[in-house]
Structure 1
Amino acid sequence: MIALIEASSYFQLASLAAMADAGLLPDADERVLVLANGSQVPELTTPLDQVPGFEKLAARFDRVVDFAALAAPRRPSQFNPREDELHIFERLLRSAWDLGSEPLTLVLESVQVNPARALARIFFDAQLWVHSDGLMSYGPTRNRLPMPLRQRLMGTIHVDLVPGLEPHLLAELQPVRKVLRAQQLERIFTELAEEAHFELPGSSALILGQYLGSLRLMDSDEEFELHVQMLQEALDRGLDTVLFKAHPSASATSAARLASVAEQMGLDFRLLDTDHLAETVIASARPEVVISCFSTGLATAKYILNTDVHAAGTGAMLQALAPYENSNRIPLSIIHALFVQGVPAPAHSDGDDQLSKLLVAVAYCMQAAQLPQLREPAAEFLGVHYPEFSAHFKRRRITKLDLPPRWVHLVSRRTFPSRVRGASRRVLRTGSKQLETLSKSLSRLAK
């Protein structure tokens, strides 16, 4: 048995190494790490096999193959073979990766997207495991999986980023859940930090940029204003140094404008140009606070590296994010609830787990057709707690799904079908004419 273990990001490499150390990966005679760079601009980002500490991380596996290099110049996310090409690609990949005719197990990131989905289709009889590293794993499955994939799913392996929170990913299939504890991933960050040297004054903040503009979640001016809010938060805390780290998948843009604003605010602005993970920077530099919008780095900083965090702009983003089923909604709701509203993580909730109940309601509103079993708990939560958590929901969605509370339902101008409305108008016109005739008759009689 050979296990093909796919990684598309540096954070996934670290997570998979921790999963290997913890004995969470499926048993296999040989474990092959498959690199599939998921960057939006891979030509301008560091290849995964060149990131700091790669050799240490890859040592957990028997060998490494580079799917991105094999598929170039096509990006891994663009790899989507036709049905009649699947057997051709199976022969090609088995030959290129020296797999022979051995049975396979695939450990993939989300099977909703390529290349993970393509690999699952190509190796049509392989058992499937899904590993997840970020906050999106707590959200519902985006699209219903076809039966050939559903039948082969064995389970999921996720990082316990929010202590005690259960993921909704693939919940409709009731998979086996394996959990990577925070302490096990912390060891990897500590190991990577041994080769990193980031020194900051004691009164410093780390700002984690996100690629919100690149994802078209906001325009460039709005994203700039969001970063200015983060600078202001550092200033309000009495800090004098800001370390800014752009998201690794973000487009290459100049930070000169932001640096200029920071200088006007009296802040020492330092642009961090490194391939190290944000977590490695935190473990090495130990900033006083980590500031971002809804980056996974806020959860890892708080619950894995015990660092204070601040979330900026989440309230406005919750209302602006569209459509409602956008996959970023669950990470956004989690961060807003935890670090803006002060809702405790499930493991710290003393029996009143509001966060899990909130996410059940959000998940149902996102994918009601796939998760009908969540309707009752969602309705119960909204009926009691909607005023506290209204920022997480859209009135239009609650109205459409006929969920409580009814006082928030939108009143439609099209209350009745058009035929009924048309008939009503005809009745009113007819009745009006009849009243006019009757009135004239009564007038003549009166004379």
Structure 2
Amino acid sequence: MPTRTQIFQVSTLYGAATLAAALDAGQFGPPADSRRILLVCNNAPVPETAAGPDALLGYDRIAARFDSVISWNETIRPYHPGAWGPRADDVVLWQRALRLAWGLGEEPVELALESIQVDPARALAAIFSESALHVYADGLMSYGPTRTRLPQSMGCRIRRVLHLDLVPGLKPMLLSEFDVETELVPEDAFRKVLGEIAASADGDRQLAGAVAQAPTAVLLGQYLAALDILTVEEEEALHIRMLHGAARAGHTRVLFKPHPTAPVRYSDALERAAAEAGVRLVTLDTPLLAETLFERCAPTLVVGCFSTAMLTAAVYYGIPVARVGTGLVLDRIAPYENSNRVPLTIVDHYVPDLERHGGGEVPALPGTAPATLGPLVRTVGYCMQSELHPELRDEAESWLRERLDDSTRRYFKRQRLGKLSLPGGSTPGAAARLRSTVRRTRSTLRV
């Protein structure tokens, strides 16, 4: 008989695949020891109009590993999963309600959560306030700092950070302020799960038609306009730049995988550009993981801005990857502590720029992270969350003093460096600190 319940919260199929690989590798113990619940969240701005992870091809293969599946959206309806958390006075009542609704009884509960610093993961951690927490990384954000300061009472319950080795040689910063250990999900286990997901799409006609076109390059859309980073027109132009870059590299058969929430006009504009460039373009909007395309189409190039799928293509499929537009997005992304900044920095520094390659030249396959990447990521991470990582200040000062130049300036903002009294800042640090002290003193005197 199971002696505990393990609840696995997911909002993406990629994250669910990561958990499935960890389960297969025995990283959550023997199945007979636990009752396992898959808690599915749809965090889209309007969940009723967007496909959740359970709507994607291959989801059923993941769900089969669990004893039951529960919808978090249905549980807390009419509240939105990303905007609701229990009041402090109500957490005990919420735990009782969930134990009753989910048939948990009084047995111990463990939680496997993504994005612990925000809801719904933070809400679940608060409700099950005595539970051990396991955090898993759904992509490149784990290499950056924790987005916000977590309560010490929550941080001390986190046992580990499970993550994929998407950038070999680079260690995640996520939750390192609590000295949480990191643990790799085995490569072979994750690759096997991706294979299962791809196999479940065998009967899809649109995918079969795309495969029949034998595309040699895949373009990945991210819909950055939804994040207010680019305008719709700018992102449309970004996709066209990807197409032109692939064409210059000799690719005449290209597949475009738009983001599920991208507008139809993206595909229309790209089709016109492809016709002008003499490229046969296939647009695939079937709800499936980009990794299924790598499995089924075996492309020789994957192009994107800073999508995690680019690194998955390189690490797990051995496909050369190239980036387009990271400089523009680095300039636009705000605020500075935006969690996408580290993924952007990694891809910009680590992945070849497609627009720097001439006709017929194929970008090299990224390998082990260069020695320059770790110090750069830690310096950017310090500038993002200096209060969480005061131990990194000396390294950040040294790096900026020695390495900040025209080629690295795009990773930093002068105002941010000035605010932190770091080399390269636009505002004298001492003066900024003095003004802050004066304001605090005036406020104290008023009281």
Query: Does TM-score exceed 0.5, indicating one fold?
Result: yes
Match for residue 205 of structure 2? none
Task: Verify the 8 A CA contact 1:337 1:343 in the aligned structure 2.
Answer: no
Match for residue 33 of structure 1? 38
- For 1:382 and 1:397, the matched residues in 2 are separated by 13
Which amino acid letter does the alignment assign opposite residue 6 of structure 2?
A
Q: Given the alignment, which residue of 140, 152, 161 partners 2:166?
A: 161
Q: Determine if the alignment matches structure 1 residue 11 to structure 2 residue 14.
A: yes
Q: Structure 1 residues 264-273 or 408-417, which shifts more?
A: 408-417
Shift of 1:103: 1.2
- For 2:74 and 2:144, the matched residues in 1 are separated by 31
State how 1:282-321 maps to structure 2 within 5 Å: 282-321=294-333
- For 2:199 and 2:6, the matched residues in 1 are separated by 30
Match for residue 243 of structure 1? 255
Q: Call closer, same or farther: CA 1:232–1:251 in 2, change over 3 Å.
A: closer
- For 1:330 and 1:413, the matched residues in 2 are separated by 24
Q: Determine if the alignment matches structure 1 residue 391 to structure 2 residue 403.
A: no
Match for residue 373 of structure 2? 355
Match for residue 375 of structure 1? 393
- For 1:241 and 1:76, the matched residues in 2 are separated by 40
Q: Call closer, same or farther: CA 1:76–1:180 in 2, change over 3 Å.
A: same
Task: Verify the 8 A CA contact 1:17 1:60 in the aligned structure 2.
Answer: yes
Task: Verify the 8 A CA contact 2:313 2:319 in the aligned structure 1.
Answer: yes
Shift of 1:207: 0.9
Task: Verify the 8 A CA contact 2:112 2:136 in the aligned structure 1.
Answer: yes
Q: Call closer, same or farther: CA 1:246–1:185 in 2, change over 3 Å.
A: same
Q: Call closer, same or farther: CA 1:254–1:339 in 2, change over 3 Å.
A: closer
- For 1:147 and 1:276, the matched residues in 2 are separated by 38
TM-score normalized by the length of structure 1: 0.86
- For 2:249 and 2:420, the matched residues in 1 are separated by 43
Q: Given the alignment, which residue of 210, 216, 222 partners 1:204?
A: 216
- For 2:249 and 2:7, the matched residues in 1 are separated by 47
Match for residue 107 of structure 2? 102
State how 1:23-422 maps to structure 2 within 5 Å: 23-25=26-28, 28-196=33-201, 197=208, 198-202=210-214, 204-250=216-262, 255-340=267-352, 348=368, 353-387=371-405, 388-404=407-423, 408-410=424-426
RMSD: 2.5
SS of 1:323's equivalent in the other structure is coil
Q: Structure 1 residues 257-266 or 331-340, which shifts more?
A: 257-266
Shift of 1:52: 1.7
Which amino acid letter does the alignment assign opposite residue 159 of structure 2?
M
- For 1:270 and 1:127, the matched residues in 2 are separated by 46
- For 1:323 and 1:224, the matched residues in 2 are separated by 23
SS of 1:11's equivalent in the other structure is helix
- For 1:336 and 1:114, the matched residues in 2 are separated by 29
SS of 1:78's equivalent in the other structure is coil
Match for residue 421 of structure 1? none
TM-score normalized by the length of structure 2: 0.86
Q: Call closer, same or farther: CA 1:49–1:348 in 2, change over 3 Å.
A: closer
Equivalences, count: 412
SS of 2:122's equivalent in the other structure is helix
Shift of 1:184: 2.4
- For 1:104 and 1:218, the matched residues in 2 are separated by 42
Give CA deviations for 1:320-361 in whole Å, capped at 9, x if unaligned. Answer: 22221111100000000111479997x735xx6211111011
Alignment gaps of 5+ in structure 2 = 202-207, 354-362, 436-447
Match for residue 444 of structure 1? none
- For 2:278 and 2:115, the matched residues in 1 are separated by 44
Alignment gaps of 5+ in structure 1 = 419-447
Task: Report which of the two structures shows the higher radius of gyration computed on alpha carbons.
Answer: 1
- For 1:113 and 1:26, the matched residues in 2 are separated by 27
Percent of aligned pairs with the same amino acid = 38
Task: Verify the 8 A CA contact 2:242 2:304 in the aligned structure 1.
Answer: yes
